[in-house]
Amino acid sequence: MVRVAFSMLLLITSIGVAQGQEELTLKASDGLSISADVYRVSKAADAPWIVLAHQAGSSRGEYREIAPRLNQLGFNAVAVDQRSGKAFGGVRNGTAQRAATRGLRRSYSSAVPDIEAAMVWARKQTSGRVVLWGSSYSAALAIWMAGNKPELADGVVAMSPGEYIRGRSISKAAAKIKVPVLITSPASERRKWRGIFKAINGDRKIGFAPSSGGRHGSSALIASRNKSADAYWKVVETFLAKYVAKR
C-alpha cells in the first residue's frame, strides 16, 4: 500500500450526530478550516475509506444520500466541503464561507489543499486503502491529484470529469496514474473525458455512460434526480468491490 510521505497540520474536531455521522473540521495547508462529514461503519484497522469531493456550487450535502450506501458496501467515508462551492440539499458549504470571509481564492484549482487535507486525514484512520472520489470539477482534480500526488490515492472514482481546471492538464496527469480509475458521465458528456480516459495507461480503467440520458456528477447516483441511477450504481459497486477485504 502506498504511504503518505509528508505531514500536514490537521485540526480535528468530532461531534456525534444522527445515524453514526460525525461532523469534522480539518485544517488545510494554508490554515483554512475545512468542514466535513464522516460516515463511519467499521472500526477495523484496515477498513477502506472513500474521500468524497463535491461539484461546482455544491457542498458535502451532495453525499447525504450516497455515503450511507457506500457504508453498506463496507466503506467508511468522509465528505468534504471545498472552498469552491455553495450549498447542496440545504447544506451550506462552511469551507467556502470561511474562505470568502478571509478573502481567499475560491477557484477550482484552489480546492486542492482541501481535498488533500481530507486524504491525509483518511490515511491516518486506516492501514487499508483509500479511494478518492470526485464530482465534476473535483473529478478532474481527483485525476490530477492521482497523477501528480501518487502517495494519496489507491483508486479514483471520477463522476463527470473534463478539462475544467485552468493551468492544469488533466490528460497529462492521467497518463501518470498507476491506480484503478472509474470515469462516468451522462451520455452527452462522453466527449469531455474521452481524451482523459485514453491517456490512462493499462487495463485497470473503466468508462461508463448510459446509452442516453444520465446526470452530471455524483448526483447521477441519486434516484430522485436520475432515473438511470441503478445503472450507475451497478458500475460503481463493481469497481469498488476490489477494495473491500474478504473476511
Q: Is residue 99 pLDDT above 70, yes or no? A: yes
Q: pTM for the full model? A: 0.91
Helix (H, G, I), strand (E, B) or coil at 192: helix
Lowest mean pLDDT among 4-18, 35-49, 112-126, 201-215: 4-18
Residue pair 181/148 in contact by the 8 Å Cβ criterion:
no
Residue pair 158/140 in contact by the 8 Å Cβ criterion:
yes
pLDDT in tens, 149-158: 999 999 999 9
The upper half-sphere exposure of residue 47, i.e. CA atoms within 13 Å in the direction of its Cβ, equals 20
Average pLDDT over residues 134-143: 98
Question: What percent of the chain has pLDDT above 70?
Answer: 91
Confidence at residue 8, expressed as pLDDT on a 0 to 100 scale: 40
How many Å from the N-terminal Cα to the C-terminal Cα in the chain? 19
Confidence at residue 110, expressed as pLDDT on a 0 to 100 scale: 97
Nearest alpha carbon to residue 184 among 211, 216, 207? 207
Residue pair 106/99 in contact by the 8 Å Cβ criterion:
yes
- The domains of the chain are located at 13-243
For residues 130 and 70, what is the distance between their CA atoms, to the nearest angstrom? 13
Q: Is residue 10 pLDDT above 70, yes or no? A: no
pLDDT in tens, 56-91: 999 999 999 999 999 999 999 999 999 999 999 999
Average pLDDT over residues 104-130: 97
Average pLDDT over residues 131-148: 98
Write down the architecture of domain 13-243 according to CATH: 3-Layer(aba) Sandwich (3.40)
Q: How many other CB atoms sit within 10 Å of the CB of residue 228?
A: 18
Confidence at residue 246, expressed as pLDDT on a 0 to 100 scale: 62
Confidence at residue 21, expressed as pLDDT on a 0 to 100 scale: 84
